[in-house]
Amino acid sequence: MHYLLIRNDPPYGTERGIVQKGAAVGACGTCMDARGLSSGGLMDGVHRSDREELGTWTAEADEVIVF
């Protein structure tokens, strides 16, 4: 099974994400640009993502969970 988890959190103060077990984690590039953030500031295991990758992940997922 492939799960896509989409977290909708405010931009600051909820840094609770954990990267483990080889999960691919992408940070919204549009959101990063709006806040003046660069890829260099992302934690290990997280990469800058985009809508195209989100679309691919959504199409490939067996289940999409948004919270």
What pLDDT, on the 0 to 100 scale, is given for residue 12? 63
What pLDDT, on the 0 to 100 scale, is given for residue 59? 96
What pLDDT, on the 0 to 100 scale, is given for residue 26? 92
Per-residue pLDDT of the chain (67 residues; tens, 9 = 90+): 888 988 876 666 665 667 777 788 899 999 889 888 899 988 888 899 999 999 999 999 999 988 8
Nearest to 28 by CA among 60, 6, 2, 43: 6
- Could you tell me the residue ranges of all domains in the chain? 3-12+21-66
How distant is the alpha carbon of residue 67 from its chain centre?
A: 12
Separation of alpha carbons 61 and 1, rounded Å: 8
H or E element, residue 28: strand 25-28
